Amino acid sequence: MTKASNSGWWRGGVIYQIYPRSFQDSNGDGIGDLPGITRRLDHIAALGADGIWLSPFFKSPMKDFGYDISDYCDVDPMFGTLSDFKALVMRAHALGLKVMIDQVYSHTSDQHPWFKESRASRDNAKADWYVWADARDDGNPPNNWLSIFGGSAWQWDTRRRQYFLHNFLTSQPDLNFHNPEVQQAVLDSVKFWLDFGVDGYRLDVVNFYFHDRQLRSNPGRGMPDGSDPAVSPVNPYAWQWHHFDKSQPENLVFLQRLRALVDQYPDTTMVGEIGDDDGLARVAEYTGGGDKLHMAYCFDLLGEPHGATYLHGVFTRFNQVVGSGWPCWAITNHDIPRVATRWGGAHPPAGLLKAAAALQLSLRGTACLYQGDELGLPEAEIAFEDLQDPYGIAMWPDYKGRDGCRTPMAWESAAPDLGFGAAGSTTAPWLPVAEPHRALAADRQRGQSGSVYETYRALLAWRRGVPALIHGDMTLLSAHPQVLAFVREHAGERVLCAFNLSDAAVNWRADAAAGPIGAVLADSGVRGAAVQGDAVAFEPWGVLFARLG
């Protein structure tokens, strides 16, 4: 296979995630769609992102809102048509934005034609396309694997009189990647969209593709302590070490096949979502060597811990395992409570949000923003009767699900629906708008000096002119209870990045090995630190970017 040229735009780039249902409704049905996204692309381009990631818009019964796909190669009518998607791609490209799409290959919908055929008998052409297993002698499932959404990962099927595997909803059966025909069918769908003109993929639960052939049970880990940000402590899924139901060695071989295909198309990339007992090590493994994923993210920045000591430990651990791998750092997405509330509580200080943005955008790796991050939107409170997420409905009230980060985008402060709906529409959005978002709407923040939006925009514009923040190595300075600090270095340029991640002022000194602090880079859009020699006086949530001698 011929390898196409690649500009590496994603390396150190910024990707903006769009959740289509909640971004912009163009036809008045209460659900966001592709023409609505196209209408709002100027907002993302003006912000300064390099590309967009679209959560699934493919045909689906929507039991898990598009993460249960019934046709990998077509648009669900609620979002529009293939022509609408083509128009979106063309407009994005005209604005200088790359387009990445979200594909879910570990499982399909139970309405996918492949599964309908597979469950019909044990000897049809697709009988082995999904993970089927006989019951044990007592009728129980073949092992102790659990679904992330609660309960056994095995569902009894009366037609085949066997269990099928589902790591998520029972309506999301897992594909059997040990079957070469399944692998080829997936690769064919990847090629379809690459030929269509997309610039890359976000790959959902990319380490879930293969399961242990022997179906060995996972070992127990005991009562969880709540420290795993990927799984709610009320979920029994956290009670196991997941040695056999995911992250199998065969996955690496398939990812090499996938990378070889994607590399035939110029300037393309892939980012994988990894949920694993050791996510940082898996990110390094899946992105190392230049022959698998281009980049990946895990959940270490997506939990509640965010202090300087915790983050110093995360980055220390990552530096130990990263090798040639490349991370993608996200602090919010469509599966996680919004960072404003998760880190800032009921009344998140603007300084914390600006410091979090500055930190994320100065780390070694690619940054992934989620729609509304740039506005500092807090998590929405959703009444039980308004919940849509099956995960939250099943685990209410101790876990309220993912709807709180999926409410309609706040565009216009004075509009009843915050500008989400089509002009003149009286249809209620699929999730209620969050009234606390009204004062933070995009039209309120644009042009407002010091707003969270203008801070993001300034940061994104500024970092383009600081090569060390995009291409440089990253060296952590000594741990401190309030201040996280590191040095980014590239081609002789050394930049000190230091953050007071607390609501109390603090005096701090850089490591002697860092060298003398030079000119403060004051045009980053963030501030809150005064330098005197090698000493720095930080205000609460203060940020310092400075040259080093």
**Residues forming the active site:** 204, 273
Long-range contacts made by residues 338-344, C-beta under 8 angstroms, separation at least 24? 338/370, 338/372, 338/373, 338/377, 338/378, 338/379, 338/404, 338/405, 339/373, 340/376, 340/377, 340/378, 340/379, 341/378, 341/379, 342/303, 342/304, 342/306, 342/379, 343/304, 343/306, 344/378
Token pair 């190392």 is at which residue?
288
Do residues 175 and 130 make contact, with C-beta atoms less than 8 angstroms apart? yes
Angle at 316 between CA 312 and CA 319, to 5 degrees: 140
d(CA 524, CA 192): 41
d(CA 272, CA 367): 13
Q: What is the DSSP letter of 174?
A: B
Which residues fall within 8 angstroms of residue 544, CB to CB, at 6 or more apart?
A: 496, 497, 498, 499, 520, 528, 529, 531, 536, 538
d(CA 519, CA 516): 10
Residues in the chain: 549
Angle at 475 between CA 474 and CA 478, to 5 degrees: 145
Token pair 């963030």 is at which residue?
526
Which residues fall within 8 angstroms of residue 326, CB to CB, at 6 or more apart?
A: 11, 287, 294, 295, 296, 365, 366
Name which of 370, 374, 428 is nearest 402 in CA terms. Answer: 370
Strands 58-59 and 366-370: unpaired
